[in-house]
Structure 1
Amino acid sequence: MASAPPSGLPLFYNQLQPLSSSLHADYVLRQRDSVPFLAGVHAVPLTVEEFGLAQRHYPIVFSSGPNPVPLALMGLNEGVNMFVGEDGKLAGDAYIPAYVRRYPFMLAKLQPNSEELSLCFDPTSDTVGQGGEGAALFADGQPSDATKGILGFCEQFEQAGQRTAAFMQELVDLKLLIDGEVSIQPEGAPQPFIYRGFQMIAEDKLRELRGDQARKLIQSGLLALVYAHLFSLSLIRDLFARQLQAGKVPAQQPQLQV
């Protein structure tokens, strides 16, 4: 995954607090017109349900390491996001990953030995707070419609995460993932920019799958996800061109780390 907070919490989250009708009875959900927390993030986790939409806007790659996750690349260098302006507002009409839309809420275990998940939020976010304008999170001590909607979205996200993990395990079992490398030679540059530090699906290994393995991918619908990833890789050069035009390509050869 992309860089995470030193606390070990997931990307974006600084703290986690269970949402409580007694402690947060007068809290509201404020309308968000900017995403400053996303401005310095170049890679955001994706679920498999999002591949079809995300591949139109972002390169989709997989993180390095033994437990890879799909990532939408919003920039090719650490700290660079070409889809968020300096004012924290999203630029253009690019698809917003569910991981971003979920923040500052998430489902989390309150007890390590329990399987029960509770709706929590990051109290450092200004999206949720005490009083003022916004959608009430509780009404008469009960979750409001807004809170029920948030809970439903977070539950769907968790389910999508499980399906994503199953897809990634299938790629690992079939040995389809390889270390990725992209070399881009800008006009007039003395040497190419080489990006590494991510994983991708090897097309030659995909072609060499046995018939039963290929049928399983087709019948499960996973093959469509594979090709969404492969098609999206062409956007890496487009993203590099945008960074170059904006003056956000380091002078030295960079290395993408996701």
Structure 2
Amino acid sequence: MASAPQLPLFYNGLEPLSSDTHADYKVRPQESAPFLVGQHAIPITVDEFPLVQRHMPIVFSVGDDAIPLALMGLNEGVNVFIGDDGKLTENTFYVPAYIRRYPYMLARLHPDAQELSLCFDPTSDALGAFDEGDALFADGAPTEVTKSILAFNESFEQAGARTQNFMKELRELGLLMDGEVSIQPDGAEQPFVYRGFQMVNEEKLIDLRGDALRKISKSGMLPLLYAHLFSLALMRDIFARQVQLGKTPLPQLGG
């Protein structure tokens, strides 16, 4: 986790969805997500902090363009919530929107384009010229299925913009610091120390006064910061899951 993931994570290519080229395309439900196997850190939006913090630790990538990440494992190549078959191992798990968005994505078709176009990963087997599934177009017009996909992606982009503003404020307030979590398993001589991420400096947060404190209180930022801090306790749960799965933890967060 040395830097923010190179977006778009998961995608092998992007192709604009077109009523001409993809007139006979259908989308079918996916029972597994093989692209998630071995993915340990997933980008999330601030809108998701209250839900994510119940299931996964929330940290921030390192670097000037830091983004929030939900940890599905403490080491690269390890995801403790996804089986080798690409299926979730839990029924009540919150799946981040970044995952649910795949294989679709809003993107600029040209660098100077003003509008975003709905695109998809052509290597995905979720959509294609199938006999079964829900049609994406009917009589040259988007179906309700496509309209719903577009609405979800638009909502995701809006949440992404709010997340960028959140990160900008975090940097301006100087609240981010290099993260470190130490886990001492029973019977181990030395603790496992995880680094390679950023976290909120709780001492600086507590010391905020005046305009700075009022600003984050009014903006709704304060509970999000504490959701992140509270979620760090789940590092030990992820560690225990890795041990249980026989995926020996390493003393850093990969990268």
Which residue is equivalent to 1:96?
A: 95
- How many residues were matched structurally? 253
Q: Cα distance, 1:194 vs. partner?
A: 1.1
Specify the alignment match of 1:54 in structure 2.
52
1:33 positional shift: 1.1
Q: What RMSD over aligned residues (CA atoms) do the two structures have, in Å?
A: 1.4
Amino acid in the other structure paired with 2:43: P
Indicate the residue corresponding to 1:176 in structure 2: 175
Q: Is the 8 A contact 1:185 1:191 kept in 2?
A: yes
Aligned to 1:136: 135
Q: Which of residues 35, 41, 53 in structure 2 aligns to 1:43? A: 41
Cα distance in 1 for residues equivalent to 2:254 and 2:46 = 21
Q: Is contact 2:106–2:153 with CA below 8 Å preserved after alignment? A: yes
- Of 171-180 and 127-136, more deviation after overlay is shown by 127-136
Alignment of 1:241-256 (within 5 A): 241-250=240-249, 253-256=250-253
CA distance in 1, matches of 2:55, 2:100: 16
Aligned counterpart, 2:20: 22
The answer (yes or no) to whether the contact 1:3–1:11 under 8 Å persists in 2 is no
* Correspondence for 2:72: 74
| Aligned-partner Cα distance in 2 for 1:34–1:3 | 26
Q: Could you report, residue by residue, the CA deviation over 1:175-204 in whole angstroms, capped at 9, with x for unpaired residues?
A: 000000111111122221111000000110
Identify the residue that residue 231 of structure 1 maps to in structure 2. Answer: 230
Shift of 1:113: 1.0
| Aligned-partner residue type, residue 54 of structure 1 | V
Q: Secondary structure at the match of 1:224?
A: helix
1:132 Cα deviation (Å)? 2.1
2:213 maps to: 214
AA aligned to 2:20 is: S
Work out whether residues 183 and 195 of structure 1, in 8 Å CA contact, stay in contact via their aligned partners in 2.
yes
Between stretches 123-132 and 101-110, larger displacement belongs to 123-132
CA–CA separation in structure 2 for the residues paired with 1:173 and 1:51: 20
Mapping 1:98-117, distance limit 5 Å: 98-117=97-116
Structure 1 residue 9 displacement after superposition: 4.8
What TM-score results when the alignment is normalised by the length of structure 1? 0.95
Could you give the per-residue CA deviations for residues 99-128 of structure 1, whole angstroms, max 9, x where no partner exists?
000000000000101221000000101111
> Which AA in structure 1 matches 2:210?
G
Residues 27, 128 of structure 2: 8 Å contact kept: yes
Other-structure match for 1:195: 194
Q: Secondary structure at the match of 1:187?
A: coil
Q: Report the TM-score when normalising by structure 2.
A: 0.96
- TM superposition shift of 1:27: 0.6
Paired position in structure 1 for 2:165: 166
Offset, 1:3: 7.7
Identity within the alignment, %: 65
Deviation at 1:210, TM superposition (A): 2.2
Say whether the 8 Å CA contact 1:9–1:15 is kept in structure 2. Answer: no
Q: Which residue of 1 aligns with 2:147?
A: 148
Task: Could you list the structure 1 runs, at least 4 aligned residues long, displaced by more than 6 angstroms after superposition.
Answer: none
Is the CA contact (8 Å cut-off) linking 1:198 and 1:257 kept in structure 2? no
Structure 1 gaps of 5+ residues are none
What letter matches 1:66 in structure 2? D
SS at match of 1:232: helix
CA spacing shift, 1:218–1:41, aligned 2, 3 Å: same
Q: Aligned letter for 1:246?
A: L
Give the Cα separation in 2 of the matches to 1:11 and 1:40.
Answer: 13
Aligned mates of 1:145, 1:226 — CA distance in 2: 37
